[in-house]
Structure 1
C-alpha cells in the first residue's frame, strides 16, 4: 500500500497538485477496530494528526470488514477491501459503502462447483470453521452444488479448542465414502487444523482448498506433505507489479526505526539479533534481503498484493474524477466543481462507484452494482518435488468475463498430481451412474446423489447414462440383452435352409418322384388287365393331380410374398379338388361298372368317359370360381405377426377373407365326405373289379388328417402353422397315393401272374348287388 501511494504521488498526471496520505492501523483485535472507527469519525488520531479520512482500505477478514462497514457506512465513508471475500458483503442494503477488488466468494463457489462437476465429483465432504467467511461460503457451496447434482456427505465445523469436533472430523475422514474434501477456512485455521490432523495419518483423500490458504506453501511441513500432495483449489491470479519487488527488497530497518515488527523478521531472516546475545551475531541493519530466499523475497509474482495495488488506484481514480473541472462543473456529475479542500467521503463514494481504468500492468478495474469486481482465478495444484519442497503449479483458470461454457479451462499440457497417491482423477460418487439399460430412481430417504438403478422392464430400453425412464421399442424392434438399444426383431418363417423346411421339401420331392414312377409304371403296363380294369384315364389324371398336390406344398415354404400368399391357398384348393374329383369319379365308375354287369342294366351309358370328364371339370370349376371370388374380394396377403411373440416377428400369410379360406376347405371336405360315403357303400363289391375298399381306406385317412388339421392349424405358432398345413397336404396325398396305387404296383411288379383277365374273372363270386 505504501509503495502504491508513493507511485501515485510521483505521477504528475493522475492527481496533479494532490498528494495522498495514509494512516495505518493494526487490524487484529476488537479494541483496535473501535479505536480506528472513532478516530475516523473524529478526524484525529492518537498522534494528533488532523483531517478526516476520505476512504478506508481493508480489512482482509470478512468478519472484520463487516464490523468496520457497519460502523462507518452511516458516515458514507467508502471502504475498499483487498481480501474480504464473503458473498454476504455484496448486499448494498446492509453494506452500502463496501467495495472490493478481490472477487466475491459467490464466484469462487461457482468455480468450485464447476471444478467438482468437471471431474464428476458428486459426493464430497466439507470441513470449515465458525465465522462469517467459512459459514457463508460453505452454505453457498451446498446450495449451488445441489443445483448441479453435487451432494455433501458431511459438513463439519472445526475449532482448535474442541477435541470433540476434531474427533468427529477424523472419524468422518476415515469412515466416509467420499474421496473429495473441501477445506473451506482461513489460513490460520487451516494451519491449526493440519497440525492437529497430521497425527492421525489421514490418507486417500483429494483435498480441495479455498483461496484463503491454497497458495500458502509454508503449510507443507514434513508431516503434511502426504496430506496436501495433489491438493487443488482456486487462487487469486498471479500478477507482476513493476517496481514492487525492488521496493520490498530494498527495505532496511532504518526506514522504520520505530517498527518492532521489521526488527523481528529481520532477526529471523538473517539469524542475528539487534541486542547483544550469546547465541547469535549482531544485526547491522545493512544486510541485503536479496541474499536470502523465503516467501518474502519471492517477488516475481504477486497474488493478494495485486488487489491492494488496485484498491489504492481505485481511490486515486475516484479522486481524479471528483476533482475534474470543465467550464465550472464536473464533467462526470454535472455538478459544481470541487477543489481539494472540499473533498468529502460521500463525494469520493459517489465517484468510486463509476471508476473504470486499467493499471500499468494491464489489470482492468471496475465495480458492479454490488461493489464487486469481476472474478478471475488460477486453478492451482500442489506438487511435491523430490527435494521435499512444494511447487504450486497453475493448471487452469476460471474467468467470469468469458462466455458461458468457456469460463472454466484446464491447461492441456500441464500434468496434474492427484491426492491419495492416485495416478488418475479419483472417483467420488455416492452411487456410480446408472448404465444404459437401466433407469435412475431417486430414493427419498437418501441424498439425490445416492439414487437407485433398476433394470428396464421387458420390451423397454434406455440408451443413456442416468436415464430417468425407459422407453418402449417400436413394434418392429426389440431390446438387446443389455437393453440399451432397439434391434430389428428377427423374422421367422419356414425356409428351405432350416431342418424342418428341408425335411418337408424332401418329402415333397419323394411324393413327386413316386407319382411319376407310378405313372411310368402304369404307362408301360397300360394294356394289362389290372390297369385297364381300374379306369386307366382316371388313374393317370389322379396321378397328375397328386403330383400337383405335392408340388403345391412348396409354395408354403419360403418368405411370404404377395404372389406366394395368393398362390399357395388357391393352388392347394384347386389341385385337391381335382384330386378328390378323380377319386370320386373312380368310385362312381366302380359302382356304375358293377351295376352295368347286372342283367338288363345300361347304366354305363349315363356315366361314360365323357360324363366322367365333365363331372371332374365341373367339380374343379366350382373350386376355381370360389378361389377367383376370394382373390377378387379380399385375397391373402403377407403379414408381420408381432402379437404371438414379443421378441420376434412371424412372417405369415393372412387369409384376407376367412370365409374364402373356409369355403375352399369346406368344399374339399364335402367332396371328400361324398367320396367316402360312396366308397363305403361299395366296399363289399368284388375285389377284382373295384378298388372301393382302397378308396374307402384312403378317404378315411384323408378325412382323419384334415379333421385333426383344423385344431392343430389354429393352435400352432408361427412357422409351425405352415408346417402343419404342409404335413396335412403331404399326409393326405401320400394316403391316396399309397392306398390306391401301391397294391396295384405290387401286383404288376411282384405278382405278374395275377395281372390277367382270367385270374381277375375267376375270382368273381356269384352274388347280387
Structure 2
C-alpha cells in the first residue's frame, strides 16, 4: 500500500503511520454509539489513561481532545481498554491547550488576593475525539476521583464547579448533553456546538465571539481584495451546515459567487479507507481544477491535517491544475495541527494563507513556563510522556519499544528547539481562550465570594459557604463576569453567552525547516466605529510564491474595463459576465459597471467611452472658413444685384426696360438685394434682435420678391389677352393690379410674422443634443407652426407664380418674360423643396448654413433667370434694344 500511494516517509515513519491519518478521520466526530460504560464495573478504576489531576479547594474540569487511541471496534465482549492497540496518535500542538490551562490555574493560585485563600485545582481528561470517551469523562467528573461511581461524591471539594471543553463542536455537544442535566457551567473554547434544544445550551458559555462578526469579517476581507469568485470547503456536520445557512447568503448578498461548495465527509468508524482516500482525491481535483484562486475553509482544529494531505494526493493521482497554488482563507476555529508522520511533509501549502483568529495578546510568563516544562516536572501529567516521545521522536527506557534504531528520550530536550509544525512556543488563539476561560471561572468565584461576604462576617464561614455553593449558582456570576486579564485584554460575555471580542487577521508564512510564523496583518473590531471595523496592512502580507508578491485576483473572468459594461452570461453565476462595449453616447468610467450612463448635457463621451469631455460652444461665425465664405458670397451677389439695378436705372428709357414695368422691376431688384443681404443676420453669435429678424425679415422680403414675380407673370398673361379684339381685359392691365398683388401678398406674410412675434417669438437657445461634441448656440424658432406657416405661404406664392408662368411660357410676344420666369421659379421651387428635408437632417451650425445657401440659391435663380437675358441685351447687344428691332422680332414670331 505504501508503494501504491507513493508516500515516502522519512525517519522512523513506518507503514502504520500512513494509516494513522486515515484512521484519524475515521475516529473524528461520531454520533453516540459504542459507549464503553457498559463494560465498566461500579467502583472500578476508570479506563481513561490520559488525564491530568491537581488537587485544590475548588476544581475546574477540563475535557480536551488530545490523543487518539487506535482500537478495534468495541463489541461489548470485553472491557474496552483490553481491545486498544498499543499505538497512540498524539496531536502535539493541542498539548499547548492543556499547558495554558495549567498556567492559568498557577497564576490564580499565586494571586493570594483572590478566592478567600482557596486554591484552584483541575481534572483534565482526554476525550479521544469521540462521543464515548467524552461521555465517560463527563461522568467521571460526577464521580469520586479515581473511582467510577456516577452521581456520588464523598468529598464536596472534589466537585467540578465548571468544565472547559473543546476544541471541537461535537465534543462540546457531548459534554453539554451530560453536564447540562446537572446544571454545571461549561465553557467551550473552540467551535460552537449546535444545540438541539434550549436546555442543552442554557449553561454553556462560548469563548468565541458571535459567528456573524466572523462571517462579516471574511466578506470584508474578500471584498477588500476584490475576490468575488471563490470556492468553499466545509465539514459535513451540524457546524458545517450552520456555516452554509448563515454565511453563504451573506456572501451572495455582497456579490460573491461560488465556483464550488465541497464538504469534507462526516466520517464513521466503519468507513472504508479507500473510500476516504477517493473522497480526498475528488475534492482535491475540484479545488485544483477550479479557476478560483481563493478557497474559504470552514473547519475544525483537525481540518489542517486534511489540508496538508492534499499535496500528497496530487502525487498519487493525476490531478489537473488550473493554478499550482490556492489562497486559503480559514475560519478562526482552525489551528495548525499535524500527526507525527506529517512532520516530514512540506507545509508550503499554507504559505501565504489568510485566517481569522480570536483577538489576543501575548501573555507574560507563558513562554518561560513552557521552557521549564520537563517530563520530570509534573508526575501527575498523564499527557506529558506521550507528548514528549512523539514530539521529539524518541522513546523512554521504561517503555516497551523496539530496541533497534530507536532514539532514547533523555528528558532534557527543550521545547523551544521543536519546529513550529510540531509545537509552538507562542500562545495560540485556542490556548488563549482556555487561559481566559480559567480566569473567567476564577473571577466568577471571586464575585460569588464577595457576594457571600456581604452577609457573613467570619472568613471561615465565608470559605465554607463558598465551597457549599452549587455549580448552577456560579452560572449567574459567570454570565455577568467582566475583567481584564494579565495581558490587559477585557473579557466579558454578551447576552447570548458568547465572548465579546474581535478577530485578528493572520498571514501564514512558512519556511523550509518546517516552521512558520503567524503574522498579524489586520483586525476586525465589531465595537469600533463603522469606518474602522475592518483594517488591514496590505504591504505586510506575504502571498504564495507562484504569485511573485503580486496581489492575486480571484474572478470568474477578467474585469470589464472602463468603456464597457457587464452583460449576463447565460447558465453562469452572476459573477460571470460578458464585457459589452458601451452604446454610442454613453460611457462607463469604472471597472465592472452594470450599465453605461449618459454624460451630462454639457459634456460628451471621448473616443474610448470612458470619460466625459466638456463640449465647446459653437455657432456660425465670421472667424471660420464657412462663415467667411458665405459672407463673401453674400457680398458678391449683393454687388451683382446692385450692378443690375444700376444698369436698369441708367437705361430706364430704353424699350426693354419700359416693356418690363420698371416699378415692379425696381421693387424686385430691391427685394433681391435685401434677400442677398439677409443671410448676414444668420452669421455671428445669435442675440435676441438677430433671432427676431432672421426668419421674419427673410419671409417678408422673399414674399415681396415672389409676389413681384407673380405680378409680372399675371400682367404678361393679361397683356396678351388684352390684345385680342373686343377683350375686356385691357382695363386690368396696369400698375394698380401689380401693386395690389405685391401689397396684398406682402401684407398677408407680414400678418403671419406679426402673429409669430406676438405669440411665440424666436429666441437665442443652446442646443445640447444635435451635435455630440458641441453646444450649438442658435436661434430657436419659437413656434415651429408659425415658422412653417410663413415658409408655406412663401411656397404657395412660388407655386402659383410657377404655374401661371408655365402656362404662359409659349405666348407669341417678343416682350413675353414668361419663359424666363418659368425657369426662375423652377429653380426657386426646387431649392426650397430640397431645403426642408436637408434642413431637418442637418444639425448644429450647418442648419444655418443650409438656410443661407437656400436663400442665396433661390435669390440667385430669380436674378439670373429673369435679369441676365435683359442685361445681356442692354449691355452687350444694345442694337437689339430698340422698338423697331423688337417689332421685327415680333413679326418673325
If the length of structure 2 is used for normalisation, what is the TM-score?
0.70
SS at match of 1:255: coil
Q: Relative to structure 2, which stretch is displaced further, 152-161 or 719-728?
A: 719-728
Match in the other structure for 1:248: 370
Match in the other structure for 1:103: 209
- In the alignment, is residue 204 of structure 1 matched against residue 325 of structure 2? yes
**Partners of 1:621 and 1:182 in 2: CA distance:** 87
**Partners of 2:453 and 2:386 in 1: CA distance:** 55
- In the alignment, is residue 121 of structure 1 matched against residue 227 of structure 2? yes
SS at match of 1:125: strand
**Partners of 1:68 and 1:167 in 2: CA distance:** 34
Once the 2 structures are TM-superposed, how far is the Cα of residue 72 of structure 1 from its aligned partner? 0.8
Match in the other structure for 1:403: 529
SS at match of 2:498: coil
CA spacing shift, 1:132–1:375, aligned 2, 3 Å: farther
**Partners of 2:293 and 2:110 in 1: CA distance:** 53
CA RMSD of aligned residues (A): 5.0
**Partners of 1:134 and 1:663 in 2: CA distance:** 81
Once the 2 structures are TM-superposed, how far is the Cα of residue 71 of structure 1 from its aligned partner? 0.4
Q: Relative to structure 2, which stretch is displaced further, 643-652 or 346-355?
A: 643-652
**Partners of 2:572 and 2:732 in 1: CA distance:** 97
SS at match of 1:737: helix
Once the 2 structures are TM-superposed, how far is the Cα of residue 373 of structure 1 from its aligned partner? 0.6
- In the alignment, is residue 318 of structure 1 matched against residue 444 of structure 2? yes
**Partners of 2:230 and 2:115 in 1: CA distance:** 51
Contact preservation (8 Å) 1:379, 1:394 = yes
Once the 2 structures are TM-superposed, how far is the Cα of residue 279 of structure 1 from its aligned partner? 5.9
- In the alignment, is residue 390 of structure 1 matched against residue 516 of structure 2? yes
Once the 2 structures are TM-superposed, how far is the Cα of residue 249 of structure 1 from its aligned partner? 1.8
Match in the other structure for 1:40: 141
**Partners of 1:628 and 1:108 in 2: CA distance:** 77
Match in the other structure for 2:751: 626
- In the alignment, is residue 20 of structure 1 matched against residue 120 of structure 2? yes
**Partners of 1:104 and 1:318 in 2: CA distance:** 22
SS at match of 2:678: helix
SS at match of 1:23: strand
Match in the other structure for 2:797: 668
Once the 2 structures are TM-superposed, how far is the Cα of residue 446 of structure 1 from its aligned partner? 4.3
**Partners of 1:152 and 1:670 in 2: CA distance:** 75
Contact preservation (8 Å) 2:305, 2:339 = no
Contact preservation (8 Å) 2:363, 2:487 = yes
Residue-by-residue CA offset, 1:222-274 (whole Å, 9 max, x unaligned): 76354222111112444322233333222333333465643455567778764
SS at match of 2:644: helix
Once the 2 structures are TM-superposed, how far is the Cα of residue 721 of structure 1 from its aligned partner? 7.6
Identify the match of residue 173 of structure 2 among 37, 43, 66: 66
Matches within 5 A, 1:115-264: 115-137=221-243, 139-158=245-264, 161=273, 162-200=276-314, 203-215=324-336, 224-257=346-379, 261-264=383-386
Once the 2 structures are TM-superposed, how far is the Cα of residue 410 of structure 1 from its aligned partner? 0.4
Identify the match of residue 79 of structure 1 among 179, 186, 189: 186
Match in the other structure for 1:10: 110
CA spacing shift, 1:151–1:541, aligned 2, 3 Å: closer
Matches within 5 A, 1:323-342: 323-325=449-451, 329=455, 339-342=465-468
Identify the match of residue 397 of structure 2 among 255, 258, 275: 275
Match in the other structure for 1:112: 218
Match in the other structure for 2:48: none
Contact preservation (8 Å) 2:304, 2:337 = no
Matches within 5 A, 1:677-756: 683-685=811-813, 687=814, 691-692=815-816, 695-708=817-830, 711-716=833-838, 717-719=840-842, 729-755=855-881
Match in the other structure for 1:544: 670
**Partners of 1:244 and 1:327 in 2: CA distance:** 33
**Partners of 1:696 and 1:209 in 2: CA distance:** 99
The number of aligned residues is: 752
CA spacing shift, 1:752–1:373, aligned 2, 3 Å: same
Matches within 5 A, 1:366-445: 366-385=492-511, 389-418=515-544, 420-431=546-557
Q: Which runs of 5+ in 2 are unaligned?
A: 1-100, 268-272, 316-320
Q: Relative to structure 2, which stretch is displaced further, 518-527 or 271-280?
A: 271-280
SS at match of 2:529: coil
Contact preservation (8 Å) 1:397, 1:410 = yes
Contact preservation (8 Å) 1:374, 1:401 = no
Q: Relative to structure 2, which stretch is displaced further, 110-119 or 523-532?
A: 523-532
Match in the other structure for 2:59: none
Q: Which runs of 5+ in 1 are unaligned?
A: none
SS at match of 1:25: strand
Once the 2 structures are TM-superposed, how far is the Cα of residue 328 of structure 1 from its aligned partner? 5.5
Residue-by-residue CA offset, 1:192-234 (whole Å, 9 max, x unaligned): 4423533516613212223344556999967635422211111
CA spacing shift, 1:6–1:415, aligned 2, 3 Å: closer
Contact preservation (8 Å) 1:109, 1:141 = yes
**Partners of 2:581 and 2:858 in 1: CA distance:** 51
Contact preservation (8 Å) 2:359, 2:503 = yes
SS at match of 1:516: helix
Residue-by-residue CA offset, 1:521-579 (whole Å, 9 max, x unaligned): 44555566655665666544443332223223454567776544543443334334444
**Partners of 1:216 and 1:594 in 2: CA distance:** 122
Contact preservation (8 Å) 2:190, 2:333 = no
Q: Relative to structure 2, which stretch is displaced further, 533-542 or 588-597?
A: 588-597
CA spacing shift, 1:422–1:137, aligned 2, 3 Å: farther
